[in-house]
Structure 1
């Protein structure tokens, strides 16, 4: 049986443990009196209010340096990438089955909606072959040069709503990524090649596959609110001997100072895609 001394020691330990949480004799809670808790809570309240104030002041000063229309810092590369539509780098379909190429046709038609006549006729006329520089223009909004889908001729989806897919001569659309202030020197145009022994004929729209300089420079999403990138359509005139084969097509932007041969970035000024047409 436990002795009296052991029982008293056990009671003292239990009492000591309870007193560490709340001591009724001194009024301490977790080792601090009410005034001590009040002082430390006041300190942290002032400390965190000071930090919040410093953060708000820093953000306010930073926002004062920003421009809603022109980014203060531009860390994007000065050369644009080349993008293809329909949005696929592996185009494969059966020309005899509309369901097999329906997604490609729908993707092209949806993409070209903003190039419709009704959308573009509200834009301003520009001088072909010249940059549309508007640095000294009144107001922050810049005029937009129109690019109508009719410029894409047989690849516009107007006269041929299937964009040539039903006849095994598909169209692809190419555009450059937007870069604020880009003014390519020279006369940029698209040139596509097929990696095979026998060349494949191609038609380019607009004429010679050129990106007219009047669509440059781009002033940013807010200043150039209705801006649309110029397009180049490539119609691949495939023949029967090209069917049922996977062809690798490489398109590059040439005729200017824009880079198209950087091995570290396969999409800088160029794009490579595969196409296969099944009879």
Structure 2
């Protein structure tokens, strides 16, 4: 049986616990008076307003140094990579079975939609051989030189809807990645080689697989909305001896100051892919 002496102690503990939240004798709430709470809340309000103001000021100053059209730092990738279409580094198909190469044909056709004559007629008919320099005004939308898919001739899909895959002489398209302000020196062109004893006959479209200077420089996605990269199509004239064999093909950008031999990045100015035609 609990002693009567424990009851006053329990009451004192309960009273002390309640007083820690609100003490009716001193008017304190959680150990502070109303004026004390007001002062500490005012201090933190001013403190955090100051921090928010400093953050907003630094962000505003930083944004003043940025250009909407040109990245602030562009020294990481000074040379463009080379990209292949269809988007595969291992092209294998049976030339006698349309289902086996339909994915490559559909990919090429979809990719070339932006190069249709109806789309490119909206762009400028630029004089070849010279850089297409434009005003650096930020408000001006940059003009784009035409690149019609008809320039790709037998690899355009206009004369052969199967891009040569049905006859075992496939086409691949090559383009360089976009780099703002890039103006390659010299006369850049694509050169492809097949790693085998006997050379494979190839056709390049446009003539000699060249990237004309009129498609440079590129001014950025926002300023150059309608820009499309120039393309080079390579048609591989494979013979029966080449069928059922995996042929490694390497394509490089030659004839300019663009790097194509960096062992740390095998896609810098070059691309290597494999092609195998089954019959």
- Fold-level match, TM-score > 0.5? yes
Q: Which runs of 5+ in 2 are unaligned?
A: none
The answer for the alignment partner of 1:194 in structure 2 is 194
After alignment, is 209-218 or 190-199 more displaced? Answer: 190-199
Cα offset for 1:277?
Answer: 1.5
The answer for the alignment partner of 1:203 in structure 2 is 203
Cα offset for 1:220?
Answer: 1.4
Cα offset for 1:84?
Answer: 0.7
The answer for the alignment partner of 2:214 in structure 1 is 214
Cα offset for 1:217?
Answer: 1.1
Alpha-carbon contact 2:69-2:138 (below 8 Å) kept: no
The answer for the alignment partner of 1:15 in structure 2 is 15
Alpha-carbon contact 2:184-2:258 (below 8 Å) kept: yes
Q: Which runs of 5+ in 1 are unaligned?
A: none
Cα offset for 1:143?
Answer: 2.2
The answer for the alignment partner of 1:235 in structure 2 is 235
- 1:219 and 1:199 map into 2 onto residues whose CA distance is 39
The answer for the alignment partner of 1:103 in structure 2 is 103
- 2:223 and 2:127 map into 1 onto residues whose CA distance is 20
Alpha-carbon contact 2:138-2:223 (below 8 Å) kept: no
Map of 1:63-142 to 2, 5 A cutoff? 63-135=63-135, 140-142=140-142
Cα offset for 1:240?
Answer: 1.8
The answer for the alignment partner of 1:172 in structure 2 is 172
The answer for the alignment partner of 1:29 in structure 2 is 29
The answer for the alignment partner of 1:254 in structure 2 is 254
Cα offset for 1:135?
Answer: 4.2
Q: Aligned pair in 2 of structure 1 residues 75, 17: CA closer, same or farther (>3 Å)?
A: farther
After alignment, is 10-19 or 130-139 more displaced? Answer: 130-139
Alpha-carbon contact 1:128-1:214 (below 8 Å) kept: yes
Cα offset for 1:27?
Answer: 2.6
Give me the TM-score of the superposition, normalised by structure 2.
0.92
Map of 1:19-58 to 2, 5 A cutoff? 19-58=19-58
Give the match's secondary structure for 1:74. Answer: coil
Cα offset for 1:61?
Answer: 2.7
- 1:138 and 1:17 map into 2 onto residues whose CA distance is 68
Give the match's secondary structure for 1:273. Answer: strand
